[in-house]
Amino acid sequence: MENSENYAAGVLPDHIKHYKALYKGRRYWVFENSMENPYGDWAYKDFEILVYDRTEHAVIAAGKRREDGLIRGSVMWGQGVDFDAHDARQMVDKVLWIASWYR
């Protein structure tokens, strides 16, 4: 588990630090999954892009690039809402928007 210095410094936990970061926000980081060494278990093996919540220490959304360049994402909690995003930053924005429904 991350300690407070690592969190403040923006250090990824050991189990995801070898993946390519696409976006680093304060709480949510988006990284590219590796098809040769997929993150986690079978649940993520088919997803190219994962949104990691640094507070919850978990992947909370995952997505795939479509042929038209958009990312088709899905949150991994609640109703499993799907969304489209142009890039990694917009994935985080969409996750925050969906999360606001539950507050």
Cross-strand bridge partners of residue 49: 32, 63
Number of C-beta neighbours around residue 35 at 10 A: 10
Task: Give the strand pairing for 20-24 and 49-53.
Answer: unpaired
For residue 30, what is the enclosing H or E element? strand 28-32
pLDDT tens digits for 62-95? 999 999 999 999 998 877 899 999 999 999 999 9
SS3 state of residue 29: strand
Q: Which pTM does this prediction carry?
A: 0.83
pLDDT tens digits for 12-51? 677 777 888 899 998 999 999 887 777 776 667 789 999 9
